Structure 1
């Protein structure tokens, strides 16, 4: 097996100029990694650091990574003479606010400009991307929700926040998106403007696990995080596809671009997929439970000393096989995943033939690989060439890069098909 496409997909960030506004939140430390990743992609980064942001990261750290001056004072005679705030805001191709605290979102929404960061945001005529980060109660507050809705209505793009533990010892949505997620959103902003080979196409992606209830408090499920499926949906949307993401329960923020439909069970996922048809491409990345409990208990099952209850299982609907069946609503391209723990390629080839899909992406989900819940993946693409038995092995890539590469292959494939 050889890797015939080992080179990285060209980045839409090459030569782009990013103005990164670092506001005051503990998540500001993530901006150091974000800068590194942006520059690896060929982007030039310049920073505005607010006074509150300087409590968490230093100008020296930002300057060392950007290899550029860090700006912070609105009334600095030196800075204004060398690079005025109007020029600073318009010299960039994209403004990124990370972390976007509740305070700066409120000031953006209401046009306040009492420091360099908000003045640059008000003066810019360039796209803006915000990565919200705050306490879960602040995120849920009606004022924050109203401010965010107002900004989104004006065209401000957002990424995150994610769900998880916070520095304030609370748990919930409010964690700033990870640098890789913000990077993908930045690339999506540029791809949306310049490179949309899937514009006018409709796509469907399934993601995450399903939960099959046993009783009102227990369920059957698996370890899928949804990271790969969500990344694929975002990548297809970034290339212009009108994308529907049908996702089981995950602890991920909605990716930028797709319309998101949330489900719990396999039967709900199949119904949502059918409702999304017709589409030209369907990517079944969800780890759908093969079985469900035939008779769900109406009350919580109790230990009563008589031994464990007997659970009669019934077979769940096969979403991949259903979408692959010939018919007027069959997508032109159906892509499945084969998550295996042994005889990876052999079983994937058999699964492709059994399900009737066009492509299968085989990946190893045995425990040591860390694929489930991890940030990287190694894919073996079967069916992507004229030889249906040919295996194209990709190197270990981030799930974002896997998604980007797959989306490009899908665009190439659909471009060769008659509309």
Structure 2
């Protein structure tokens, strides 16, 4: 029988622009892991770690040997190092793999971490654009933001969604990022400022697009026995799953995130969730473009099709609402590639532990959902449900 698995530690580093980064990837990796171990306390040391799970997208870092990041951490501990690369969903995939390793009894204490610096690549965006299908899209210069525009223009056409709706959800992230000490973009841009920012690819404006960030995030996963020994506020992994779609665009109508909806229904059934809006207390969703958050509300069953702006404007997904979403400031304000997808898990756990800084804490949150999204067209999704006793 699978063992219960808990999250007992979270570590972050402050994020900055990849072009302004002065720290090496190994340096921010060490820092976030140290912060997670210090978070736990109770005598936990690096030598207690049974295994390390490292989330990476090699191409973004301009290296084929990301394992060298861990040399200084693994020496002398005999801890095996695993590498997980599923693009933008790497953080969620790594949590899933580490969870299964602990649940199976293979390990008792593992570290999961991602350290994205992007300093070794001249232009990470060009690398990301190469993920477009090579037959037509890649050769014509179509990248992630263009495909994001396809989704959002279709959304506007089908349901009468407005630029104000997109700007409002962007301003919500910017408002909360201002109070997040680890966030990259902390300007607190308003709705009017978002609407006044330049249009990049219709209907996406400059302040509705995520930055290229540098920073690191780590989490410590343990068996139930170790969780009770080391932590007073463990958060348990209730369910974790993923889904993959086709790489091609030819057949797509860009009518929302259909595969995410399939995945959500699967994980809700496994967890016994009947009404996500009523039962989930907090969610972190992956929104490299602000409007994606609205599409994700609908795919995750928080509301019906075309109804996401209503729950947004009613404050349901803001602090103090029935189901707050992305109070970290989200991917929109901090996007270090793989660490950004791991951060969705970490922020959710911090909310359930009651240890969020900056006045962003949700009162008495007990069930949380973390989402990651990968590929220029959202070919990959992961979902993790966390709960506390």
With normalisation by structure 1, the TM-score equals 0.30
> Bigger radius of gyration, 1 or 2?
1
* Higher RCO (C-alpha under 8 Å, 6+ residues apart): 2
Q: Give the alignment's TM-score, normalised by structure 2.
A: 0.32
Higher helix share: 2
